[in-house]
Amino acid sequence: MKLVKEKKIIQYAAVFVIVTFAYLMWRLISPAETTGFRVAMGILVGLAGITDLVLLKKKQLTTDRLVASIMFAGLVMRIGYMLYTPGAVRSHDMWEFEKDGYGHAGYILTLIEDKMLPQTNTRQYYQQPFYYILSALVSAPINSFLGGHDNELIVDTGKIISGVASCIVLLMTDSFCKEAGLKDKYRAAAVGFVAFCPAFYLSERITPDMLCTLLMTIALIYTLRWYRSPDWKNTIILAFTYGLGVMTKLSIGSLAMFTAGVFVWKFVEAVKEKKFGSYIPKFIVFGMISLPLGLWYSVRNYKRFDQPFGYVLEIPKDHSLYTGDHSFFQRIILPDLPNFVTEPYAEVFEDYNLWTYMVKSSLFGEFKFEVPAIVPVGLMIAAIALTIPAVTGVVKGAFKLKENKEQFLMSAAVLVFMASIVYFYIKYPNGCSMDFRYMTFIVAPAAVLAGKYCAENGKKWIGTLYLAAVPVYALFSTLMYTMIK
């Protein structure tokens, strides 16, 4: 297989081993104070930067070396954050750390203790099970090896799955660059954008979001490959990716619309050329793999609990998270620029503008941190600066239908996904609907598209902005997430 030939799968397996090993070491040492560890993280990232500068001075810095050092720094930040942040800190919907807690924690504990799926769909138990199954599969042996019986620690081990997913997405960004034909400095900038995007650290928590992001990333890469070469291998990988993706989180369905569009497009082209015969069995096999794999849990819950397909927990209108009392224009059409000036952190109970909240929550989630103001504000300004080439790249890419199909398809994927986010926010106007943890998938393709646009318009100011903003972003991101506790 090509994947094995390229040693990609080995790279990903190595990441899993490294992350698991690091976690085991951390648990064995169990440091009471993390300051030294965070300083060490900073030093490692700094060393990577200094090495690059030295190589640059000696004129020995190649793009591959630069990308490798950025990836190293990105992995340090990801693994480091995962280790020093306990599962219960900056978490979402964990609820009680017990079997019948009905949160993410309870889900994993139920799987480990009962060795069966939850027998109710109360609160978070309505969620698709793949992430929780993987977490349980990793947690059970590790915790029996470590001899841990603390429910909090048993659940905490689930971070490994999110952490590994986050690291693999970083490695895959370079695959995106290759798919899009992005080279040289903009390739490094794109990888840098993803490497230091705090959303990837923050999502290393006990939720299915990062695993879903990984599966979406794989789905996009293989949709692009399938468009170029609609063979059995790509079809089956796509089918499994979507099957497992839906088994992780239903939101991957919005990307499935994009893939379906590519299927239809390719099929129509084939019909015009009267060569469509080979497509039909592939579509049938795709459906036979992905549909049962993805939907069995939804069918089970529908039959058992009458839970509708696409069910999410609804928040009442009188809840303080409700944002529907602001106009459509205020919430969705234009970014709320004055909000950026007020403070860098997102206010889940106060904010209502999707775009502003997206930028802020991509940096800090729903949380506030006790760090000097210059760091979060600097990080926010760098993120705003990066948003300009990213948005331009995505929008411009959508007009590349004739010149560059890969670029067009990547843009289309991001736009389809964002359209679903906007639809979701219109349908569920709550502060938490705007959280970037549901949208982390867009970072890698947007970073690559930004690079692609800048590479094609290199002399314009936007290219300079992109190249200048990434190091600033990296600096503040590193400072931010080595200073917090």
Contact between 376 and another protein per CB under 8 A? yes
Binding another protein (rule: CB under 8 A), the pick from 377, 395, 398, 416 is 377
CB of 371 to another protein, least distance (A): 7
Cα–Cα separations (whole angstroms), residue 252 to 68, 202, 279, 439: 30, 20, 23, 11
Q: Which is nearer to another protein, 299 or 374 (CB)?
A: 374
Is residue 93 within the footprint of another protein (CB under 8 A)? no
Q: How far is the CB of 144 from another protein (least distance, A)?
A: 42
User: How far apart are CB 201 and another protein at their closest, in Å?
Assistant: 20
Give the sign of the dihedral formed by CA 90, CA 92, CA 98, CA 101: positive
Whether the CB-CB separation of 139 and 115 falls below 8 Å is answered with: no
Count Cβ atoms below 10 Å from residue 440 Cβ, excluding itself: 26
Applying CB under 8 A, which part among 53-61, 376-384, 395-403, 433-441 lies near another protein? 376-384
Min CB(463)–another protein separation in Å: 13
Tokens at residue 380, please? 């926010």
Instruction: Say if residues 383 and 359 touch (Cβ distance below 8 Å).
Output: yes
- Minimum Å gap between C-beta 364 and another protein is 12
- Max Cα-Cα span within the chain: 68
Among 133, 260, 381, 416, binds another protein (CB under 8 A): 381
Residues 401-440 touching another protein, rule: CB under 8 A, are: none
> Number of residues in contact with another protein, rule: CB under 8 A?
25
Q: Is 435 helix (H, G, I), strand (E, B) or coil?
A: coil
Q: How far is the CB of 380 from another protein (least distance, A)?
A: 8
What element of type H or E holds 160?
helix 159-180
**Rounded to a whole number, what is the distance in angstroms from the first to the last CA of the chain?**
44
Q: To the nearest whole angstrom, how small is the minimum distance from the Cβ of residue 286 to another protein? A: 41
Q: What stretches of 117-186 adopt beta strand conformation (E)?
A: none
User: Smallest distance, Å, CB 67 to another protein?
Assistant: 22
| Separation of CA 232 from chain center | 27
Restricted to residues 316-335, the positions that interact with another protein (CB under 8 A) are 325-330, 333
Select 402 or 459, whichever has its Cβ closest to another protein: 459
Stretch that binds another protein, among 83-91, 169-177, 194-202, 336-344 (CB under 8 A): 336-344
If the CB atoms of residues 251 and 339 are measured against another protein, the closer one turns out to be 339
Check residue 343 for interaction with another protein (CB under 8 A).
Answer: yes
DSSP tag of 318? T
- Residue 373 binds another protein, judged by CB under 8 A: yes
* Dist CA 241 CA 222 (whole Å): 9
Q: Which is nearer to another protein, 118 or 463 (CB)?
A: 463
User: Measured from the CB atom, is 228 or 427 closer to another protein?
Assistant: 427
- Give whichever of 262 and 380 is closer to another protein, judged by the CB atom: 380
Residue among 152 and 184 whose Cβ is closer to another protein: 184
Residue 112 structure tokens: 């480990």
Stretch that binds another protein, among 134-142, 273-281, 305-313, 367-375 (CB under 8 A): 367-375
DSSP string, 344-363: SS--TTT---HHHHHHHHHH
Could you give the CA distance from residue 474 to residue 73 in angstroms, rounded to a whole number?
A: 9
At a CB cut-off of 8 Å and minimum separation 6, what does 80 contact?
A: 37, 38, 41, 481, 482
Chosen residue from 33, 306, 318, 370 binding another protein by CB under 8 A: 370
The CA–CA distances, whole Å, from 381 to 186, 375, 473 equal 20, 10, 8
Name residue 322's beta-bridge partners.
Answer: 430
Query: Which pair of tokens denotes residue 196?
Result: 């230091």
Strands of 192-297 (E only): list them.
Answer: none
Beta carbons of 185 and 435 less than 8 angstroms apart: no
Q: For another protein, what does the binding mask look like between residues 346 and 365, x meaning CB under 8 A?
A: --------------------
Say whether 120 sits in a helix, a strand or coil: coil
Which residues in the 447-476 window bind another protein by CB under 8 A? 468, 472
Question: Minimum distance between the CB of residue 469 and another protein, rounded to whole angstroms?
Answer: 9
Pick from 306, 303, 322: which is nearest to 314 by CA?
A: 322
Exposed/middle/buried for residue 40 (C-beta within 10 Å: 0-12, 13-18, 19+): middle
Residue 374 is a binding residue for another protein (CB under 8 A): yes
Among positions 61, 371, 395, 398, the unique one binding another protein when judged by CB under 8 A: 371
d(CA 132, CA 81): 21
Single residue of 21, 257, 372, 399 touching another protein by CB under 8 A:
372
Choice from 284, 342, 350, 423 touching another protein (CB under 8 A): 342
Closer to another protein by Cβ: residue 116 or 329: 329
Contact flag: residue 340 with another protein (CB under 8 A) = yes
Give the amino acid at 324.
Answer: G
**Nearest to another protein of 9, 333 (CB atom):** 333
For binding to another protein (CB under 8 A), which residues are involved?
325-330, 333, 340-344, 370-374, 376-378, 380-382, 468, 472
